[in-house]
A and B are shown apart, each in its own frame.
Chain A
């Protein structure tokens, strides 16, 4: 803390010296003015000394106060550190105890689970061994059975293949014979159909013409042709009419 000359400027420290009120001196003559002047200088010097003294005292007090405050703060810090440390140690102890309890409980649980798993594993292993043994026995039995069946099947297949081969040869021969017969029959039927077609084709065309030309010509249109045909056969008609 620094107290500068402002207090002096404001005049409040001047109250210290108020127990000595200044007395007004009547203005006398130039000689009296010099005295006043000397007094002013004197008071000014006293003021300066007082000011410096005050400033020094204040500075000293400030430094002392600062030292005290610093030492107090250091103590408080130390005490606070100790308190906090104690509290933290207490909390850590509590947490450690709780963690240990939890770890112990978890460890117990894990140990129990492990034991259960080991027991289950043992049981499963035993069951698997039994099953494997049973399956092995079944498979052996089935394999032997299948082997026997395959052997009999192979024998049957061999005989069936031989039979089939014989039948295939016979069928090929029959197919060849049937093919030859069919070819002959087809050729014969073709010839018969063609002959029938040719024989009936004239009738078909005739029927077609009869149907197509029916009612196409009236008697007037046909009359010249009719008269011509009658004229061509006139002799036969006349002969018959004479009879």
Chain B
């Protein structure tokens, strides 16, 4: 795992990384670890013992799922570079919900998107109570309204027909 041949397009994102913010946080942590390890390496030359900094669960999952190691400075730099590219190029799906989204649901949605749509898809979460229920999904070029509000809008004609039927029955 010393050599880093994996490009950003081959990275597997862990389920804990849902949004672009999570990815940025992962990148920051990685940069911090790189700095820590670089400093430790320098200090090790003067006889100070080197300790591996404690990693977060997200970073740990990312390294395991992508079979990456952080011991070599070049590898860390390469991972950081690829992650920076991924951060800028990863496809983002805007999902607006009627209620505040919990972490667990977002992780399930991210898993589905990465499995069915794009392996590195990220989610940008929004909140709009007037949707009542469902999701308002916006991809880079399209909008998909799967909310209950849109569903009711689509049933106007049905309601009008029902009312006309009732009116006809009342006149008779």
Contacts and interface: CB of A to CB of B under 8 A. Distances in A.
Contacts of A1: none
A230 B146 contact: yes
Interface stretch (B22-30, B68-76, B160-168): B160-168
A222 B133 CA distance: 7
A238 B141 contact: no
A219 interface: yes
A220 B106 CA distance: 9
Contact of B132 (A213, A219, A225, A234): A213
Interface residues of B, number: 41
A234 B116 contact: yes
Interface stretch (A4-12, A15-23, A198-206): A198-206
A231 interface: yes
Task: Please classify the interface of chain A as helix (H, G, I), strand (E, B), loop, or mixed, using the class held by over half of its residues.
Answer: helix
A241 B144 contact: no
Contacts of A132: none
B127 to A, nearest CB: 10
Nearest to B112: A227
Interface residues of A, number: 35
Contacts of A28: none
Considering residues B116, B132, B140, which has the most beta carbons from chain A within 10 angstroms of its beta carbon?
B132
A191 to B, nearest CB: 11
27 contacts: A198-B160, A198-B163, A198-B167, A199-B160, A201-B163, A203-B156, A205-B159, A206-B156, A210-B148, A214-B129, A214-B132, A215-B98, A219-B97, A219-B99, A219-B101, A219-B102, A219-B105, A220-B104, A222-B134, A227-B112, A230-B146, A231-B112, A236-B142, A238-B118, A240-B139, A240-B140, A240-B141
